[in-house]
């Protein structure tokens, strides 16, 4: 029998989704004929978390390409894009991805493959869903990271709230160290961001990255905020201003943890 092939999108029906035979082919494929339906390309959709504004067309296109690329490698439970790629209007650092799946994922290998394909740096964290939900409940940084995201599937995540004293003290190590040692300006920015995020987490305030950033800008002033965030050289006086803010926040958080837990 001569091969009769046509390509059509699946459309939504009231009871079942459907594929219509084109009118022009009615003579070739008729009622009662046996046909086979094969998936040629999965339709990709981007799902936005509640507080994530819609991305521009360029970024949406890129996210679609990334999801498509990864889904061709394996059928992951869910892929998220998080971090500065979503929040920055111009320029962004690495593209941060979180992949949920029950099987082991070689994140490094995937990062390399993505970098080769998109000529862009990627950072991947891989979790099982239960692991992620557990971490979301007690890690302020990851909870903040997941305050807005886009994903390739609609997924419901449980956001618990548990204050883990040891973990908070673990997170305070880096800001405390910066009171004694000097690293690049970006490390100071990251530490202040960490401290503001911890404060928000403890006080159950908004963990949206954009809100946290606004608060840091108010604390540092616009010029210093831009300098440290973009890792520009700062002078000794500015380092001391930042250390003063860090010290105050570290003491405040330690006091909070000591008295309320």
Question: What does the binding site for another protein look like in residue numbers (CB under 8 A)?
Answer: 107, 125, 127, 131, 135, 139, 141-142, 165-167, 169-171, 173-174, 177, 181, 183-184, 187
Rounded to a whole number of angstroms, the minimum distance from the CB of residue 166 to another protein is 4
* Minimum gap (Å) between residue 71 Cβ and another protein: 23
Q: Pick between residue 102 and residue 131 the one whose CB is nearest to another protein.
A: 131
Q: Which is nearer to another protein, 139 or 238 (CB)?
A: 139
Q: Which is nearer to another protein, 70 or 185 (CB)?
A: 185
Q: What HEC string does the chain produce?
A: CCCCCCCCCCECCCCCCECCCCHHHCCCCCCCCCCCCCCCCCCCCCEECCCCCCCCHHHHHHHHHHHHHHHHHCCCCEEEEECHHHHCCCCCCCEEEEEECCCCCCHHHHHHHHHHHHCCCEEEEEECHHHHHHHHHHCHHHHHHCCCCEECCCCCCCCCCCCCHHHHHHHHHHHHHCCCCCCCHHHHHHHHHHHHHHHHHHCCCCCCHHHHHHHHHHHHCHHHHHHHHCCCCCCHHHHHHHHHHHHHHHHHHHHHHHHHC
Instruction: Tell the smallest beta-carbon distance from residue 182 to another protein (Å).
Output: 8
Q: How far is the CB of 228 from another protein (least distance, A)?
A: 14
Nearer to another protein, 46 or 246 (CB): 246
102 Cα distance to chain centroid: 19
User: Which CB, 25 or 179, lies closer to another protein?
Assistant: 179
Q: Which is nearer to another protein, 46 or 114 (CB)?
A: 114
- Least distance (Å) from another protein to the CB of residue 163? 13
CB of 145 to another protein, least distance (A): 10
């Amino acid at each position: 029998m001569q091969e009769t092939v046509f390509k059509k999108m699946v459309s939504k029906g009231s009871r079942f989704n459907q594929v219509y035979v084109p009118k022009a082919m009615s003579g070739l494929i008729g009622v009662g004929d046996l046909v086979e339906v094969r998936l040629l390309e999965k339709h990709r959709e981007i799902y936005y978390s509640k507080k994530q504004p819609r991305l521009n067309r360029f970024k949406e296109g890129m996210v679609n390409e990334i999801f498509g690329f990864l889904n061709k490698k394996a059928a992951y439970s869910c892929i998220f894009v998080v971090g500065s790629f979503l929040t920055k209007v111009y320029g962004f650092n690495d593209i941060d991805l979180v992949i949920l799946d029950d099987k082991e994922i070689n994140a490094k290998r995937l990062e390399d493959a993505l970098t080769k394909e998109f000529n862009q740096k990627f950072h991947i964290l891989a979790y099982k869903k239960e692991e992620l939900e557990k971490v979301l409940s007690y890690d302020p940084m990851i909870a903040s990271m997941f305050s807005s995201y886009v994903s390739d599937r609609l997924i419901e995540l449980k956001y618990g709230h548990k204050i883990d004293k040891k973990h908070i003290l673990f997170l305070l190590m880096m800001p405390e160290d910066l009171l004694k040692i000097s690293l690049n300006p970006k490390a100071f920015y990251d530490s202040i961001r960490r401290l503001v995020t911890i404060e928000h987490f403890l006080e159950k305030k908004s963990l949206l990255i954009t809100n946290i950033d606004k608060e840091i800008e108010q604390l540092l002033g616009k010029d210093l905020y831009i300098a440290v965030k973009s890792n520009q050289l700062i002078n000794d006086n500015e380092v001391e201003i930042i250390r003063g803010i860090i010290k105050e926040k570290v003491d405040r958080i330690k006091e909070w943890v000591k008295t309320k837990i």
